[in-house]
Amino acid sequence: MTKILAALALAALLSGCAVTRDWSATGGSRADGVVRLAYESHEMEDVRVSEAQAVKLAAQRCKTWGYSGAEAFGGVTRQCTKFGGFSGCSQWTVTKEFQCTGTGTATETSAPAPAATPTPTPTPPPAQNANSAPSRLIQDARGAPVYTLGSSAGAADQKEAENARVAVASSGCQPTKLPVRFKQQHDTNFYEARCTDGRLVHALCTFGDCRLRTRED
């Protein structure tokens, strides 16, 4: 009987007790638009967290960086930070990453509207060679000019954007338009595409070779 009672007591301990934890911001990258949240979980605990609280916290951090919102990459990672206990790990750190979305602007003091000026007469576009492609200014996700179609460089960039579209399509995403480049790091270009189902998918292209962006990038 003593052994049975001891076994029941051990089972009750292992079943854990329910506790509520809040997510905390633990890091990220403003340049990449990534926010990292985490909470700690101890052995014997059944931790409950709020997804709404996590999204709100990540969105607040993104807005301070000039974005307009945030969405989760998907899934969490668990890392043992204190070994011991019945299971071999008495404390875990659970981490979740969020991608900043949109191209909002950071909070600034509003400036007075400039005085109206006469509308200048538009200058006619320069004549183009009959065999050249029409020129068109392409902009990145924040509105900065990236390249002009019709030049050899612009043709290469357009081909890379097409390769980025193929890469994001491999994830089941149907882009609403051609992916736009929003960042360049060394020889790697970062592209962003909005899917018809509302998802935001990123691709990385190096010398025209494109693939989906992962949490490790």
For 162-181, what is each residue's pLDDT tens digit?
998 898 888 888 888 888 88
Residues 142 and 91 in one domain: no
22 and 79 share a domain? yes
Please give the Cα distance from 101 to 141 (Å, whole number): 10
Tell me whether residue 45 is in a domain.
yes
Query: What are the DSSP E strand ranges found in the chain?
Result: 17-20, 24-29, 34-42, 45-48, 69-72, 77-84, 88-101, 136-139, 145-149, 180-185, 188-194, 200-206, 209-212
Using alpha carbons, list the distances in angstroms from residue 92 to 24, 31, 51, 65.
Answer: 15, 29, 19, 29
27 and 94 together in one domain? yes
Is residue 118 included in any domain, yes or no? no
**Partners of 38 in the beta sheet?**
24, 95
What mean pLDDT comes out for the span 119-133?
54
Give the end of a domain, one of 101, 121, 150: 101
Mark whether 97 and 146 lie in a shared domain.
Answer: no
Domain count, the chain: 2
Does residue 119 or residue 22 have the better pLDDT? Answer: 22
The chain-wide mean pLDDT, for the chain, equals 75
The pTM is what? 0.41
Look at residues 174, 185, 179, 184 and name the one whose alpha carbon lies nearest to residue 203: 179
The answer to whether residue 85 is domain-embedded is: yes
C-alpha distance across the termini of the chain, in Å = 57
98-101-102 Cα angle (round to 5): 170
Whole domain around residue 90: which residue ranges? Answer: 15-101
The answer to whether position 166 is within a domain reads yes
- Whether residue 72 is found in the same domain as residue 140: no
**DSSP letter at 217?**
-
